[in-house]
Structure 1
Amino acid sequence: MDFTLTEEQEMLQKTVRQFVQNELLPLEQEVMRNEREGRPGYTDDQIQQLQLKAKEMGFWGINTPEEYGGVNLGPFMTTLINIELGKTFIPFTFGGEADNILYNCTEEQKKKYLYPVISGEKTACFALTEPGAGSDAKRIKMSAVKEGSEYVLNGEKIFITRAHKAHFTMVFAVTDKETGCNGGVTCFLVDREMGWRSEPIQTMDDWVVSSVVFENVRVPEENILGELGKGFELAMKWITMGRVKISAWSIGIAERLLNMAMEQAKSRVTFGHPISEYQAIQWMIADSAVELEAAKLLTLHAAQLAEKGKDGKRHYASIAKLYSTNMVHQVVDRALQIHGGMGVTKELPIERWYRTVRKYRVFEGTDEILRRTIAFNLLSEKVKLGEFY
């Protein structure tokens, strides 16, 4: 495994880093001030304008295949970019992208769903989780009953990101109760106009999620994404890359926080000495640095496996997410401790990140389900210790 970057990769990484520093970090104080005064911190229009500015620099469709107008940088380079984007709490993503499973659209579906998402005309949401089926996604109960050339969908999804503004959803429903998840779950492309509704759920940070309710929503058979009964495979493909992305964000946040902690430690004086001279502080910094580097290697390994289509990519994505999200949870706690009273104020973004990273250990696979997955892969010998992937 060689993670040495090529000249082109280094250039791309530095360009994104400069974009974050020049365009995104300066917005943070304004966003925090707006939120303290009860106003929206940022608007979708602001994010779109930033995406257009990035487009002028060539950053558009960074992980979109060339045939769809993207540059297709691949999972490894995309992970490096997500690490840089993680260094700010401004929720920025480069435009010109679509969820990876939308490339399974038919040619007619691409015109209606894929192309509009890539161009920014439409927004999609991924709807798998249900009130009784979160970590145990195989227990989803939303039904899709065929009636003529249509399927009638009934059920509820929960904690769905972007559902409040999505034009359509990629929703997973049971089409064959006897077969179950291994052939009885199908993914459907369902326009909001077909009748589903979203209801917002308040969370501990600015993460916007909703419940999505289907009551006798009729969906044409031609709106099946992929193959009938193959929906669970699409869901796992989506979730695997989601876990790598969260790992990358965790690393970016931890790097920013560790830098803030070191600056504070060197400038804060108590009892006549900078607190950086005290061993208690030094150990917090050292432990954070070691854990951060370990998380980075695990995450880049998972991204490299995904890029090469290697066996074990889901296993190592699970390992990366489990370790990285727990790592950043520790780092933000130490950074807050080093900042003392200022760490809990809304003058700094630390308390905000404290709330944000806590949710990372819950969605896209809880700590517990990731441990279960890792243990199952090892005990069943789907992944063997000592072998390189």
Structure 2
Amino acid sequence: MRDTIRSFVDRELKPLEEGVLRNERSGLAPLEPGILRDLQEKARAAGFWGITLPEEYGGIALGAVMHSIVEMELGRTFVPFRFGGEADNILFACTGQQRDSYLLPTIAGERRACFALTEPGAGSDARNIRATARRDGGDWVINGEKTFITGGSEADFCILFARTGEGITAFLVDREMGWKSSPIPLMGQRLCASLSFEDVRVPGSNVLGEVGGGLDLALSWIGQKRYVIPSMAIGAAERLLGMAIDYARVRQSMGHPIAHYQAIQWQIADSEVEIESAKWLTLHAAWRVERGMDARHAISIAKLHGSVMANQVVDRVMQIHGAMGYTKELPVERWYRDLRVMRIYEGTDEIQRRTIARNLIKGHAKLGSIGE
């Protein structure tokens, strides 16, 4: 599976990288819609459709370990491509008509969703969101603002979290119901937006899950995403380190390839050690998820170490490339910008450290435990 996906990345995605960089310099979308559709069809023909989708929906339901390995391989390129046949795990809480209107069209690629939790005053502290939803007959009326919402400008419906009298509740809100989005310029390739809700009326049938049960749904989504992030970081770091090794072999300085110098060798060695340690921490976290064990502590460790590792590696790779690494002729500077956000989104470094420390201090996690 790993080798087949790596071949797909090498054959279909890497040749598009120069075009992605060129489009970025011209202010265009990374990939044209036609190219993206062709890639999706090729991936589906190769059997890469619904890789984590339950079999009852036509997916192949890979476990968390294989999912992590898939994300490592996709992380080896910055071309923004995802295999089709997927839906946010939170959408599987859909019932009845919700399933037909939201879940199934999302799986089929006919609709696009975004996850609207973060607010200007509430990021990692999700319990402090201020968007509100009040009952009005059989409807809910929503007011508030969300920010840094991935895919917010492209989505035709959002999974919105708002405060109700019973607690935080999740809603499925179509764009036609009245919410607006504004793109947020970022230093990397991620496409984020702010969303505004002003007296947006949502029918009661669009509550996702139970009224007041939205926070548990949100945390289940965030927990699943956190082992994916270090997986992608590992793929990017391996690709970058390979570029640095290749460059060090041919770049001459003072009559020798710079690969002969200890200063370069140590940067390469440190990067390899950090990549391998992040890989096994991440696979361990995914293994716990797959076995149905409590994986929260392991995921926090993997997310923290993987995110920091990727930023350390890309910084060394740029240093090894010198001035060339700083130019837009090479993709190193692109990765330098893209990887930085991994230390911020889906739980900052500081939040992960707090979580890890609290787990140990309160006895939720035990030192020296293996497979417990």
Instruction: Sort the TM-score into its range (normalised by shorter chain).
Output: over 0.9
1:287-298 mapped onto 2 (5 Å cutoff): 287-298=270-281
Look up the match of 2:4: 15
Among candidates 355, 361, 364, match of residue 373 of structure 1: 355
The gaps in structure 1 that reach 5 residues or longer are 1-11, 177-182
One of 281, 284, 304 as aligned partner of 1:301: 284
1:141-152 counterparts in 2 under 5 A?
A: 141-152=130-141
Aligned with 2:253 (options 262, 270, 282): 270
Secondary structure of residue in 1 paired with 2:322: helix
**Is 1:30 equivalent to 2:12 in the alignment?**
no
- 1:145 and 1:384 map into 2 onto residues whose CA distance is 43
Instruction: Choose the corresponding residue for 1:344, options 326, 331, 344.
Output: 326
CA distance in 2, matches of 1:367, 1:282: 28
Note the C-alpha offset of 1:72. Answer: 0.5
Q: What secondary structure, in the 3-state scheme, does the structure 2 residue paired with 1:94 have?
A: coil
Structure 1 residue 188 and structure 2 residue 171: aligned?
yes
Q: Once superposed, what is the RMSD of the aligned Cα atoms?
A: 1.1
User: Post-superposition shift, 1:302?
Assistant: 1.0
How many Å separate the matches in 2 of 1:99 and 1:38? Answer: 29
2:316 is the counterpart of 1:316: no
> What CA distance in whole angstroms lies between the structure 2 residues aligned with 1:335 and 1:169?
38
How far did residue 37 of structure 1 move? 4.3
Instruction: Return the letter of the residue paired with 1:340.
Output: G
Task: Give the Å deviation of 1:213.
Answer: 0.6
Aligned partner of 1:117 in structure 2 is: 106
Structure 1 residues 354 and 173: alpha-carbon distance in aligned structure 2, compared to 1, 3 A threshold = same
Match of 2:90 in 1: 101
| From 163, 170, 174, the counterpart of 1:174 | 163
1:29 deviation in Å? Answer: 1.6
Counterpart secondary structure, 2:271: helix
Aligned partner of 1:166: which letter?
A
Q: Could you tell me which residue of structure 2 aligns to residue 87 of structure 1?
A: 76
Query: Shift of residue 200 of structure 1?
Result: 0.8
- 3-state SS in 1 of match to 2:194: strand
Instruction: Show CA shifts across 1:194-214 (max 9, x none).
Output: 111111111112211001111
* 1:281 aligned partner: 264
- The equivalent residue for 1:205 is 188
| Residue in 2 that maps onto 1:3 | none
* Range with bigger deviation, 258-267 or 34-43: 34-43
- Write the deviation string for residues 25-65 of structure 1: whole angstroms up to 9, x where unpaired: 01112222333345443223322220111101111000000
Q: 1:59 to 1:218 in 2, by over 3 A?
A: same
Name which of 65, 85, 94 aligns with 1:76.
Answer: 65
SS of the counterpart of 2:183?
strand
The 3-state SS of whatever aligns with 1:160 is strand
| SS state at 1:216 partner | strand
Percent identity, aligned pairs only, is 56
User: What CA distance in whole angstroms lies between the structure 1 residues aligned with 2:112 and 2:219?
Assistant: 21
TM-fit CA distance, 1:285: 0.4
The change in CA–CA distance for 1:143 and 1:36 in structure 2 (over 3 A counts) is closer
Find the counterpart in structure 2 of residue 223 from structure 1.
Answer: 206
- Give, in whole Å, the separation in 2 of the partners of 1:38 and 1:186: 38
- TM-fit CA distance, 1:111: 0.3
C-alpha distance after superposition, 1:85-106 (max 9, x if no partner):
0000001100011001111110
- Corresponding residue of 1:353: 335
1:332 and 2:346 are equivalent in the alignment = no
* Partner Cα separation in structure 2 for residue 233 and residue 38 of structure 1: 39
In structure 2, the CA distance between the partners of 1:34 and 1:188, relative to structure 1 (3 Å rule), is closer
Encode CA deviations 1:103-157: one digit per residue, 9 max, x unaligned.
1110221100000000000000001000000121111111111122111111001
Look up the SS of the partner of 2:302 in the other structure: helix
- AA matched with 1:349: P
Q: Which one-letter code corresponds to 2:227 in the other structure?
A: V
AA aligned to 1:232 is L
State the alpha-carbon separation in 2 of the partners of residues 113 and 385 from structure 1.
43
Alignment pair present for 1:261 and 2:244: yes
Write out per-residue CA displacement over residues 188-243 of structure 1, whole angstroms, 9 at most, x where no aligned residue: 11111111111111111221100111111111111111111111111111111211
- Pick closer, same or farther for the CA change 1:221–1:248 going to 2, 3 Å: same
Taking the aligned partners of 1:195 and 1:45, their CA distance within structure 2 comes to 29
Question: Structure 1 residue 131 and structure 2 residue 147: aligned?
Answer: no
1:5 maps to which residue? Answer: none
Cα distance in 1 between the residues matched to 2:238 and 2:78: 13
Which structure 2 residue ranges, 5 or more long, are not aligned?
none
Inter-partner Cα distance in structure 1 for 2:291 and 2:208? 25
CA distance in 1, matches of 2:27, 2:144: 35
